[in-house]
Amino acid sequence: MKTSLIKNISFFVLLILVAACNSPYSPRPKGYFKIDFPKHEYKVFEQPGYPYTFEYPVYASILKDSTFFEARPENPYWINIDFPRFNGKIYISYKEIGKNQLNKLVNDAYNMTYKHTTRATEIVDSPMHTANGVSGVFFSVGGNAATAKQFFVTDSVKHFLRGALYFDASPNEDSLNVVNNFLQDDMKHLISTFRWK
């Protein structure tokens, strides 16, 4: 009785193994979650006392930057544009020309961008000038760098502002690329509507 039971179990196991060997195997590519993007709509950031104004997405919120490397920010005009839906922020820092030299501020912006060269596959800097008299440079950083989109704007006389987009996630160009491209449109809208007061 035990022998026939063992033979039957062995036969079924062998049958399953033979059937499994004939199944074609095809590896599946790595996938990522589908992201439903909201419609690009904007509202105005115009706070009393701030030396600048711009439009930012309705699906973002403005937070006052309260820390700068464990110290207080240099001035009260540093803010973060928070995108909770995407787990990302645009960190905005403002500096006054006169207290700081324009050449040094521009060099610092380039140096902070090019610190990512160890992880970047490319860095493209695009000069820009808006109808509102704002000039600056927009940086696109390729590869698995911590930040893929950065910019600075200035009037070359009194004001200098720098922005950098960061995500609270490990840098992965493949998975973050669609979100970076989506938020790049918002960053470029911010720049095109940016005005000094």
List the chain domain ranges. Answer: 42-196
Structure tokens belonging to residue 195? 């005005």
User: Which pLDDT tens digit goes with each residue over 116-141?
Assistant: 888 888 899 999 999 998 999 999 99
pLDDT tier for residue 8 given thresholds of 50, 70 and 90: confident
| HSE, side-chain direction, 13 A CA sphere, residue 142 | 5
Placement of tokens 């992965």 in the chain: 172
User: Which pLDDT tens digit goes with each residue over 152-194?
Assistant: 999 999 999 999 999 988 777 767 888 999 999 999 999 999 9
pTM of the predicted model as reported, rounded to 2 decimal places: 0.79
CA distance 72 to 80: 14
CA distance 36 to 19: 41
CATH code that applies to domain 42-196: 3.40.1000
The distance from CA 126 to its chain's CA centroid, rounded to whole angstroms, is 17
